[in-house]
């Protein structure tokens, strides 16, 4: 299970971190309260604030980070049953996680739908208008085209309900970078059997890890998500393999937190 906190290392603000979170930085949009920017009724009243924000966040400006590639490595090793993400930045897809293993519970910019005639469009068709600060309009009926991002007040995509079979089958649950504030996604954290270990990799305790008695096999890795994932990869003996995957996928080495000495040694080894 993933939230906006796995994308902050890629430069995308999350929603609720005090000060840096998106909801603390929407003053420049003329909206009555922060969440309105993702509310469907407000969107129909005035789509401009959402499209102004979409221009900032539109996929293509950001790259996956260490955390996304860790999830990709889980898949490469045949260990990823499914990733449920709340993120709409598309970084899981960019990291090479196949759509069959990905549930984008809060939708995606990859496709869009006309709010009047319901015609579906590839998200790419909206890019030019959005980046030119124009509200995309349907060529057929002139209605406003809305990216298939799930707004407050909208149904979740059908694929979200795969959880009904996925979670009872899971033998490990990893929860990363989310405040677990938004339902029904947040409740998935309690949907695995009691015998199943749950690993929380997050700056702070959230959701049932706070308001419920901890389960005997909960593992809490509190702090920076990349450091937590790095420690996890290290315990699994996957650090080298993960760095190689990242180097292949990005064409550059990844030294998330190594010291200068470690980095010099790594470079020296490569030279030798
Ligand atoms: N390392 C560790 N934890 C981090 C990091 C980081 N680098 N950056 C952020 N976090 C943590 C924050 O402390 C917070 O607990 O990630 C969590 C992010 O929480 P939110 O900002 O609430 O994001 P998210 O949980 O994805 O929000 C859920 O709310 O508005 C809706 O639809 C929107 O999908 C979104 C949903």
For residue 60, give the CATH number of its domain: 3.40.50.1220
- In-domain check, residue 35: yes
Q: How many domains does the chain have?
A: 1
**Does the CB atom of residue 59 touch ligand 1 within 6 A?**
no
Q: Please write the tens of the pLDDT for every residue from 18-72.
A: 999 988 888 888 899 999 999 999 999 999 999 999 998 888 889 999 999 999 9
3-state secondary structure of 100: helix
Instruction: Give percent above pLDDT 90 in the chain.
Output: 81
Q: Please write the tens of the pLDDT for every residue from 231-272.
A: 999 999 999 999 999 999 998 765 555 544 555 565 566 655
Centre of ligand 1 to C-alpha 143, Å, is 33
Residue 24 tokens, joined = 């603390």
- In-domain check, residue 113: no
Q: Which of 2-16, 28-42, 99-113, 127-141 has the lowest mean pLDDT?
A: 28-42
Centre of ligand 1 to C-alpha 207, Å, is 12
Query: How far are the Cα atoms of 87, 127, 168, 230 from residue 107, in angstroms, in the given order?
Result: 8, 17, 23, 28
Average pLDDT for residues 150-169, to the nearest whole number? Answer: 96
Query: How far are the Cα atoms of 137, 156, 255 from residue 119, in angstroms, in the given order?
Result: 11, 19, 45
- In-domain check, residue 266: no
Average pLDDT for residues 129-151, to the nearest whole number? Answer: 96
**Within 13 A of 218's CA, how many CA atoms are on the CB side?**
17
* Residue 106 known to be catalytic: yes
Q: Residues for the chain: how many in total?
A: 272
> 185: Cβ–Cβ under 8 A, 6 or more apart, which residues?
1, 84, 86, 105, 106, 156, 160, 178
- In-domain check, residue 126: no
- In-domain check, residue 212: yes
- In-domain check, residue 135: no
State yes or no: 195 annotated in a binding site: no
- Closest residue CA from atom 15 of ligand 1: 179
- Domain that residue 48 falls in: 4-106+150-261
pLDDT score of 211:
85
**Are 42 and 63 contacting, i.e. CB atoms less than 8 angstroms apart?**
no
* 118 phi/psi in degrees, rounded to 5: 65, 15
**Does the CB atom of residue 9 touch ligand 1 within 6 A?**
yes
Q: From the CB of residue 222, how many other CB atoms can be counted at a distance below 10 Å? A: 13
Query: How far are the Cα atoms of 45, 82, 234, 243, 267 from residue 237, in angstroms, in the given order?
Result: 53, 22, 5, 12, 20
- In-domain check, residue 38: yes
- In-domain check, residue 138: no
pTM: 0.91
């Amino acid at each position: 299970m993933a939230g906006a906190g796995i994308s902050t290392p890629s430069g995308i603000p999350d929603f609720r971190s005090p000060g840096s979170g998106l909801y603390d930085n929407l003053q420049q949009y003329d909206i009555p309260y922060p969440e309105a920017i993702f509310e469907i009724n407000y969107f129909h009243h005035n789509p401009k604030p959402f499209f102004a924000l979409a221009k900032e966040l539109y996929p293509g400006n950001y790259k996956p980070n260490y955390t996304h590639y860790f999830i990709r490595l889980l898949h490469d090793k045949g260990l990823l049953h499914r990733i449920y993400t709340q993120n709409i930045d598309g970084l899981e897809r960019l990291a090479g996680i196949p759509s069959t293993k990905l549930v984008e519970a809060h939708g995606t910019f990859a496709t869009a739908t006309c709010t009047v005639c319901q015609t579906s469009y590839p998200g790419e068709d909206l890019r030019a208008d959005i980046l030119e600060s124009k509200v995309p309009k349907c060529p057929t009926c002139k209605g406003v085209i809305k990216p298939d991002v799930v707004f407050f007040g909208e149904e979740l995509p059908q694929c979200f309900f795969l959880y009904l079979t996925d979670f009872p089958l899971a033998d490990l649950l990893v929860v990363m970078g989310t405040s677990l504030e938004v339902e029904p996604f947040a409740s998935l954290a309690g949907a695995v059997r009691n015998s199943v270990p749950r690993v929380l990799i997050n700056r702070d305790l959230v959701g049932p890890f706070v308001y419920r008695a901890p389960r005997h096999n909960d593992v809490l890795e509190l702090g920076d998500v990349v450091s937590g994932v790095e420690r996890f990869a290290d315990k699994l003996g996957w650090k080298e393999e993960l760095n190689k995957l990242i180097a292949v996928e990005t064409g550059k080495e990844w030294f998330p937190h190594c010291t200068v000495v470690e980095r010099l040694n790594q470079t020296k080894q490569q030279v030798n």
